[in-house]
Structure 1
Amino acid sequence: MRFPLALTAKIAAYIIGKKLKGVAKFATVLQLEPLHTCNLTCTGCGRIREYSTSLKNVMPLADCLGAAEECGAPMVSICGGEPLIYPEIEALVGGLLAQKRIVYVCTNAMFMRKKMRAYLAALFARDPQRAEDKLQVLLSEELITAKDAEEIRKGPKDPAAPVIAPTQWMYWNVHLDGLERTHDLIVEREGVFKEAVLAMRMAKIIGYQVATNTTVYKETEVREIEDLFAYLSTLGLDGHTIAPGYEYDAAKADMVKRLGIAPENFFLTRKMTIEKFAKIEEWGEKFPIFGTPVYLEFLAGKRDLTCSAWAIPTRNVRGWKGPCYLMTDGHYTSYNELLAKTNWDKIGVVDGVARDPRCENCMMNCGYEPTAALGINGKSGDTWKNIKFNFGKKPLGTPNADVQAFDGVTAGDGHLTGKNAAPARKPAEAVS
Structure 2
Amino acid sequence: MTVPISQMATVAGYVLKQRLRGRRRYPLVLMLEPLLRCNLSCAGCGKIQYPGHVLKKEMPLEDALRAVDECGAPIVSIPGGEPLLYSHIDALVQALVERRKYIYLCTNALLLKKALEAGRFRPTKYLTFSVHMDGERDAHDFSVCREGVYDKAEEAIRLAVEMGFRVTTNTTLFEHADPESTRRFFDRMTEIGVESMMVSPGYSYSKAPDQNSFLSREKTFELFRKLFHRPKKSWKFNHSPLFLEFLMGQRHYECTPWGNPCYTIFGWQKPCYLLQEGYAETFEQLLEETEWSNYGRASGNPKCANCMVHCGHEPTAVDHTFRSLGGFLATVRATIAGIDGANPRRAEIPPVTGRARTFLDAVEPGTIEHALLEAIDYRGDVTFTLEDGSTVVGYAFDLHDGEVRYFDPATGERRSLALARVQRVEKTGKDFAAGKSWEAWVKKYNEKKQREGGGSQRAKKLQMAG
- Give your verdict on TM over 0.5: yes
Alignment of 1:161-180 (within 5 A): 163-180=120-137
What SS does the aligned partner of 1:417 have? Answer: helix
Distance 1:289 1:29 in 2: 17
1:368 maps onto 2:313 in alignment: yes
- Which TM-score applies when normalising by structure 2? 0.71
Q: Which amino acid aligns with 2:442?
A: H
Aligned equivalents of 2:337, 2:65: Cα separation in 1: 34
Identity of aligned pairs, percent?
36
Structure 1 counterpart of 2:241, one-letter code: P
1:345 deviates by 1.7
Distance 1:174 1:419, change over 3 A: farther
Does the Cα contact within 8 Å between 2:321 and 2:327 map onto a contact in 1? no
Alpha-carbon distance in 1 for matches of 2:168, 2:452: 29
The count of residues paired between Structure 1 and Structure 2 equals 355
Q: Distance in 1 between matches of 2:154 and 2:271?
A: 35
Which of the numbers 329, 337, 343 marks the counterpart of 2:277? 329
1:217 pairs with 153, 168, 174, which one? 174
Cα 1:382–1:286 shift into 2, 3 Å: farther
Q: 1:379 to 1:17 in 2, by over 3 A?
A: closer
Report the counterpart of residue 75 of structure 1 in structure 2: 75
Equivalent residues in 2 for 1:42-61 (5 A)?
A: 42-50=42-50, 53-61=53-61
Query: What amino acid is aligned across from residue 203 of structure 1 in structure 2?
Result: A
Aligned ranges for residues 91-106 of structure 1 at < 5 Å? 91-106=91-106
| Offset at residue 297 of structure 1 (A) | 1.3
Cα deviations by residue, 1:89-144 (Å, 9 ceiling, x for unpaired): 1100001111110001100000111111111xxxxxxxxxxxxxxxxxxxxxxxxx
Query: 1:255-299 CA deviation, whole Å, 9 max, x = no partner?
Result: 2xxxxx5x1x21111111111111455438541011112111110
Does the aligned pair in 2 maintain the 1:372–1:378 contact within 8 Å? no
Q: Which amino acid aligns with 2:250?
A: K
User: Do the aligned partners of 1:113 and 1:202 also contact (CA within 8 Å) in 2?
Assistant: yes
- Contact 1:188/1:412 (8 A) holds in 2: no
CA distance in 2, matches of 1:426, 1:394: 41
How well do the aligned residues superpose, as a CA RMSD in angstroms?
Answer: 2.6
Q: Give the C-alpha shift of residue 386 in structure 1.
A: 2.3
CA distance in 2, matches of 1:203, 1:372: 30
- TM-score (structure 1 length as normaliser): 0.77
In the alignment, the residues of structure 1 paired with residue 177 and residue 315 of structure 2 have an alpha-carbon distance, to the nearest angstrom, of 26
Structure 1 Cα separation of the partners of residues 310 and 172 of structure 2? 11
* 8 Å Cα contact 1:75/1:102 also seen in 2: yes
**8 Å contact from structure 1 (residues 349, 359) kept in 2:** yes
Please report how far the alpha carbon of residue 228 of structure 1 lies from its aligned counterpart in structure 2 after TM superposition.
Answer: 0.5
Q: Secondary structure at the match of 1:48?
A: coil
Alignment counterpart, residue 244 of structure 2, candidates 283, 287, 296: 296
The structure that is strand-richer by fraction is 2
Runs of 5+ in structure 2 lacking a partner? Answer: 340-437, 455-466
**Structure 1 residues 280 and 66, CA, compared in 2 at 3 Å: closer, same or farther?**
farther
Contact 2:195 2:236 in 1 (8 A): yes
In the TM superposition, what are the counterparts of 1:231-270 in structure 2 within 5 Å?
231-251=188-208, 255=209, 263=211, 265-270=212-217
Contact persistence 2:203–2:307 (CA under 8 A): yes
Between 374-383 and 355-364, report the one with greater CA deviation: 374-383
1:322 Cα deviation from its structure 2 partner: 0.9
* Partner Cα distance (2:51, 2:198) in 1: 26
- Residues 1:419 and 1:239: Cα distance change in structure 2 (over 3 Å): farther
Cα-to-partner distance string for 1:176-233 (whole Å, 9 max, x where unaligned): 0011111111111111100000000011111101000000011111111101001111
Q: Secondary structure at the match of 1:100?
A: coil
Question: Does residue 84 in structure 1 map to residue 41 in structure 2?
Answer: no
In structure 1, the partner of 2:362 is none
Structure with the greater relative contact order (CA < 8 A, sep ≥ 6): 1 or 2?
A: 1
User: What corresponds to 1:320 in structure 2?
Assistant: 268
Larger Rg: 2
Return the alpha-carbon distance in structure 2 between the equivalents of residues 394 and 51 of structure 1: 46
Corresponding position of 2:28:
28
- The match for 2:450 among 420, 423, 426 is 423
Q: Is the 8 A contact 2:321 2:330 kept in 1?
A: no
Q: Which residue of structure 1 lines up, in the alignment, with residue 112 of structure 2? A: 112
Given residue 330 of structure 1, which amino acid in structure 2 is its aligned partner? G
SS of equivalent residue, structure 2 residue 13:
helix
In the alignment, residue 106 of structure 2 is paired with which amino acid?
Answer: C
Of 271, 275, 282, the residue aligned with 2:222 is: 275
Unmatched runs of 5 consecutive residues or more in structure 1: 120-162, 256-260, 396-410, 428-432
Correspondence for 1:383 among 316, 328, 334: 328
Conservation of the 8 A alpha-carbon contact between 1:375 and 1:382: yes
